[in-house]
Amino acid sequence: MVAGGKSEGELHGQVALVTGGTRGIGRAVAEALAEGGARVGVLARDGNRSREVAEELPGEGHAGVACDVADRERAQAAVKELEELLGPTGILVNNAGITRDNILLRLKDEEWDDVMAVNLKGAFNMTRAVTRGMMKRRSGVILNITSVVGLMGNAGQTNYAASKAGLVGFTKSVARELAPRQIRCNALAPGFIETDMTDALNEAQVEGLKEQIPLGRLGTPEDVAEVVRFLAGPHARYITGQVLAVDGGMAM
Ligand code: NAP
């Protein structure tokens, strides 16, 4: 609490960048971090949508830019633009991700390459773009959104599962490399969450999935976002290199 009784969130004074922050999980993450008091930078390929979402977030001083995270130069330029507007990055959430599902024998090179470029190289591009500043300031939090599919595998998603499993190794290596500079890096592994990405599932598939989820329902973007807010904040100060499943018990 501050004088006058107005409460300040635990992320007050922090700048948080959220890739893929315009829809689904990323949007809920941007909202949760803004609720926590952070100034949020929203990045997605659609720059107009990024700016609109930034305007709609709770609190003030947010910004949005166009950025394809798969493009190394654009990722670096977008971080620079946002840091000029918002200040140095304290929290990076690598959430942007895509699927290009196909059975192994039909999987095309482009489907493999596109998924790797966005889901895995995108996280590398963005992490590299913020790391120098975080190292100088000797503080920072990097959170990577992986998936239970990266831990359990999934028929028809060899490309996606490999990209998400890659993020797990990336997370642990970044955590080890940057811990001496007090930079924490963790991953969240959502189960099946109701977003545009899972919209394509038919009713029978959703019912089949529910049977595999001990808590008996698909997750909501907010279920994931609240855990991101916790891991980004001071209560998680002694947690690094972990993969936290947010999946209703699916992958235990
Ligand atoms: P979504 O609803 O499809 O939203 C994807 C977001 O990423 C959008 O904001 C999109 O905006 C952005 N995006 C896509 N490609 C991009 C690129 N190359 N560069 C920058 N931004 C890009 O996805 P979601 O379901 O919320 O998933 C978010 C993350 O959670 C993904 O990493 C996904 O793999 C992971 N996940 C999802 C589930 C699930 O069940 N939904 C489960 C486990 C893990 P633009 O199109 O404008 O770029």
Instruction: Choose which residue among 42, 50, 195 to substitute to test ligand 1 binding: the one with the highest number of ligand atoms within 8 A of its C-beta.
Output: 195
160 a catalytic residue: yes
Instruction: Choose which residue among 95, 143, 206 to substitute to test ligand 1 binding: the one with the highest number of ligand atoms within 8 A of its C-beta.
Output: 95
Determine the distance separating the centroid of ligand 1 and the alpha carbon of 82, expressed in angstroms.
Answer: 20
pLDDT at 2: 42
Pocket of ligand 1 (CB under 6 A): 19-20, 22-26, 43-46, 49, 67-70, 95-98, 118, 122, 145, 147, 190, 192-193, 195-198
Determine the distance separating the centroid of ligand 1 and the alpha carbon of 137, expressed in angstroms.
Answer: 30
pLDDT tens, N- to C-terminus, the chain (252 residues)? 344 445 789 999 999 999 999 999 999 999 999 999 999 999 999 999 999 999 999 999 999 999 999 999 999 999 999 999 999 999 999 999 999 999 999 999 999 999 999 999 999 999 999 999 999 999 999 999 999 999 999 999 999 999 999 999 999 999 999 999 999 999 999 999 999 988 888 999 999 999 999 999 999 999 999 999 999 999 999 999 999 999 999 999
Among 17, 67, 91, 160, the active-site one is 160
Give me the helices (H) in the chain, please. Answer: 24-35, 47-56, 72-86, 109-115, 122-137, 148-152, 158-178, 203-212, 221-232
Q: How far apart are CA 203 and CA 13, in angstroms?
A: 44
Sequence-distant (6+) residues with CB within 8 A of 192 are 148, 198, 201, 209, 213, 218, 219, 247, 250
The count of other CB atoms within 10 Å of the CB of residue 220 is 14
* pTM for this prediction: 0.97
Determine the distance separating the centroid of ligand 1 and the alpha carbon of 145, expressed in angstroms.
Answer: 9
Q: Are strands 91-94 and 15-19 parallel, antiparallel or unpaired?
A: parallel
Determine the distance separating the centroid of ligand 1 and the alpha carbon of 6, expressed in angstroms.
Answer: 35
Q: What's the sign of the alpha-carbon dihedral 125, 129, 132, 133?
A: negative
pLDDT at 197: 84
Nearest CA to ligand 1 atom 31: 97
